[in-house]
Chains A and B, each alone.
Chain A
Amino acid sequence: MIHPSSSPPVTPYALKGVYKGILKVSVMLALTYALISGLASILPAADYRELPLLGNRVAVWIPAQLHLMFAAFVLGVPIFAVITEIIGAVTKERRYDELAREFTKLLAMAYTVTAVLGCMLLALLVLLYPKFVGYMSELFKPTWLLYIVLIFGEVIVAYLYWYGWDTMQGRYKKWHIALGVLVNLWGTALLFVADAWVTFMMSPSGIDEANHLVSLWDAVANHTWMPINIHRLLANVAFGGAIAAAYAAVRFLNASTDEERARFDWMGYVGSFIAIGAFIPLPFAGYWLGREIYQFSEQMGVSMMGGSFAWLWILQASLIGSLFFAANFYLWLGMGRIPGANRYTKFQVLMILVLALGFLTWATPRSIIATGGEMAAMGGSHHPFLGLFGVMAAKNTAVNLMILTTFMSFMMYRRGNRIPVVPWATVGKALQALVVAVAVGIVLFYGVYSYFVPSLVRIGFSVYQVSAVLGAMAVFVAIDIPLLKGAREIGAIQWGKIAPRAQYALFFMAIVFTLLMGLMGYIRSGIRQYWHVYGRVADESAHAYTMSHGSATLIVSGIVLVFLLLIAGVFALTARQKDKRGDAPAQVALAGEDAR
């Protein structure tokens, strides 16, 4: 609404929207309930029922992973939206608000898909694993009741957030932002409740010898609960940003006017910025999760990192390595449309060198595949030279330097068209260079020093390396903000004047993020091996085995493809929905103007 001061005539409109959401969820729950209780009374009683053709495990795996990806999307988008909305409110730039609005519009459809997938998953679980699900639901009874209440709450708040967007502009804006924060709190609570169930299956606690509940809180707050919560929360933000960027990329490639291209180019940049910003702390959250898994069960930790699942980490390394390549590639291409950024082109040689060497180090296998002749020549399964790069110390060093390099790309991009004019500019720049040099020095020093100390001491070093990198990034930004205050602009960023292949880089990042989620999801769930609840409730079905990595990656690939097609459908259908706003043309015109 353009005139927020006049009394809002949209109350029934918003209420009707919210009610539609509630009705949808209610009908879906009722149908699922009817389906489950109907089938359960027809089918014979059993511990396990076998689904023909697909098999139980794959039948549950596919909807579970798809549900999780959509859930990540519907939790990530509001975070993404609120961040951009706040940026818009602070900088008073309308285009941020429009961007946030455009993505919030997706929520309604995305919630529906998430809920349908969730209902499918529930039905399959209850029907195929009746005994185990009976045990779990008995154990966690209060939490699933809470979960249903939270779902309704989430739907109400999120629909109010969306339908109130135009009404609550101007002086109501802060209330609208508060509503957005509430959506996220609600979503986070949902995530935490669902995490309690899956983490209990990984690292059970709060039950006695006979698997009876002793303390519900202990069962919820098990070893891996908090690390998974934090890990998933960060990943959701990164995922939301990556999907947003991919959407912008598609729109950019299909755009017919320069205006549109400028708008979607900018949108892709914001999306990728948020994605990579959330991605950088993710390895540290993963490290915490790994530690907790070791603490819960060393056996589980070893089979995850060094045993049956060790080879999947090579796949993970290649995915993350290519993610670094793609991020830097996009930023460097983007610098082509920033006047004056060619000052930094010369650094690209050094940066690609660091990235390539880092990737090589990271991909160097600990266990080398070699023929008999080659092994004889190496004098064992260890190559005396390559062996140096196969160990964790080298890999930690490599990944820290790669993170730092990507960060530097960002900073150069930021400064591209600006020349600091503050009196202390030279000192500031020297200080920044010094901070980065010190961080690189610390990372390299501990990387090399690791080879001369026992493993017990070595484990601690990764903490110093990480702190050095994080600290350097923080100090750099802290200096950068006042440094660029009132900086002289060489020229405006020429949004839209970017090579189409940059958009494929954005697309690539979204695919790789999705693949990573699928792969890590399999590892997290797979390390339980033949247990429903690790060490407590054994999986006695025919699907208790650990499948070969080849089959697992094929299934993950299939799931990712289906997800991308589904999400493309959600985007397409939402785009076709008419915006039910009386003054839509005015809004579009405004958006066009804002796009500069």
Chain B
Amino acid sequence: MSRTLAKILVFTLVVIGAFAYLGQLVPQFVEHPPQKVVITTTTDKADLAEFGKKLVRGKGGCLVCHKDQETGNERGPDLRKAAAQAPSRKPGTAAEDYLIESLKEPGAFVVDGYPNMMPAAVKPPAKMSMAEVKAVVAYLQVLAGGEPSVTILPEDVATAAAATGPVHRGRALMDTHACIACHSVAGEGGAIGPELTTVATRHEPATLLSKIRQPSTWTAEGFPAGVMPVGDAIPEGDLHEIVAYLASLAGKSYSATGATSPWSHEGLRLGLVILIFNLGMLLVLVLARRGERARGGASHG
């Protein structure tokens, strides 16, 4: 018997082994998901400008104060002219260097008629790498009708490390959607809007959600209404993650998937139903057995 079983086992191993071997004979390659756009030293100039545009409109949060098209904010200078005016702004500084400096250390030279209020692009909330700063400069140059002149150096890229793990991204999303330009949270950010570290202790998550979606519903005391832009451009999922982050700061729990966890109340409720079901089954069993015994006792006497 064991001999036969051993034979069968060997046979099985041979067949499976043959399949596994066949699998090694076909071409082998690993296919990775498409890379998130990362600037390298060889990035094409046109792509660089395109990337800079995304930074200006997204992560950089520049449009909170500047404008890069006809309509927009005018708290800061018009970005469409920035590159064209750069050569004449600060004597002794080349156009490209001036643009880089104005992003890295905005306070070094402030254009007449504007307050010194711009946060440095390399610090939070924008927290750009040098490569990203240069991409923004490339975009500004294209915007003014010129050619990008910047070159990305290896040391620029070195600091452009990818963001660390996607663990609840609420904080990072606040950078992406430029909330942090006006609000501060956990010690970082602007002072145009109220401080948000403790906001969730005062309001329910649902209230916060509605405020971000439609800021005109209510405004915090002591702040002017109508300043905060409408948040309908923020994807629904990001919205929930931001609220989840704020709630977690206040020690509350809010699921980023937009609902309470199915493993909480419903799981328990279902367990209760199953328990009752079990008890009922047990009862039927006991009754049936008793009836059986009674009948059996009667017939066999």
Contact = CB atoms under 8 A, between A and B. Distances in A.
Chains A and B share a contact (CB less than 8 Å)? yes
A26 B278 contact: yes
Interface stretch (B10-18, B48-56, B124-132): B10-18
B30 to A, nearest CB: 5
A498 B259 CA distance: 63
Interface in B257-283: 257-259, 261-264, 266-267, 270-271, 274-275, 277-278, 281-282
B125 to A, nearest CB: 22
Contacts of A319: 19
B284 interface: yes
Interface in A491-546: 504, 507-508, 511-512, 515, 529-530, 538-540, 544-546
A311 interface: yes
B75 interface: no
Given A15-B285, A47-B166, A547 B12 contact: no
A546 B31 contact: yes
Nearest to B20: A557
A344 interface: no
Interface residues of B, number: 59
Given A9-B296, A22-B278, A507 B8 contact: yes
B164 interface: no
Contacts, number: 160
Interface in A37-72: 37, 40, 44-48
A16 B285 contact: yes
Interface in A292-317: 308, 311-312, 314-315
Contacts of B277: 22, 26, 152
A15 B257 CA distance: 43
B252 interface: no
A308 B8 contact: no
Given A46-B167, A561-B12, A564-B12, A9 B30 contact: no
Contacts of B13: 561
Interface in A323-374: none
B255 interface: yes
A314 B25 CA distance: 11
Nearest to A49: B167
A303 to B, nearest CB: 9
A572 to B, nearest CB: 10
B284 A15 contact: yes
B256 interface: yes
Q: Chain A at the B interface: mostly helix, strand, loop or mixed?
A: helix
A212 interface: yes
Interface in A201-234: 210-212
Nearest to A48: B166
Contacts of A530: 32-34
B4 interface: yes
Given A19-B285, A135-B257, A141-B262, A12 B292 contact: yes
A254 B284 CA distance: 44
B258 to A, nearest CB: 7
B237 interface: yes
B233 interface: no
A131 B16 contact: no
Interface stretch (A79-87, A437-445, A548-556, A584-592): A548-556
A560 interface: yes
Interface in B219-246: 235-237
Given A48-B166, A515-B16, A138 B259 contact: yes
A552 B255 CA distance: 35
A433 to B, nearest CB: 37
A545 B30 contact: yes
B26 interface: yes
Interface in B1-49: 1, 4-5, 7-8, 11-13, 15-17, 19-20, 22-24, 26-34
B12 A511 contact: yes
B166 A548 contact: no
A549 B28 contact: yes
B32 A545 contact: yes
A504 B11 contact: yes
A508 B13 CA distance: 11
B251 to A, nearest CB: 13
A148 interface: yes
B120 to A, nearest CB: 30
A9 B296 CA distance: 9
B288 interface: yes
Contact of B270 (A47, A148, A557): A148
B259 to A, nearest CB: 5
A515 B16 CA distance: 8
A434 interface: no
A568 to B, nearest CB: 9
Contacts of B34: 530
A145 B12 CA distance: 40
A411 interface: no
Given A12-B289, A15-B288, A22-B278, 14 more contacts: A18-B281, A33-B271, A48-B166, A138-B262, A210-B235, A253-B7, A254-B5, A308-B31, A315-B23, A515-B19, A530-B34, A544-B33, A548-B28, A561-B12
24 contacts: A12-B285, A15-B284, A16-B285, A19-B281, A45-B248, A46-B167, A134-B256, A138-B262, A254-B4, A308-B29, A308-B31, A504-B11, A507-B8, A508-B11, A530-B32, A530-B34, A538-B33, A545-B33, A548-B28, A549-B28, A553-B24, A554-B20, A557-B17, A557-B20
Query: What 4 pairs between A and B have smallest CB-CB spacing?
Result: A553-B23, A530-B33, A311-B26, A546-B31
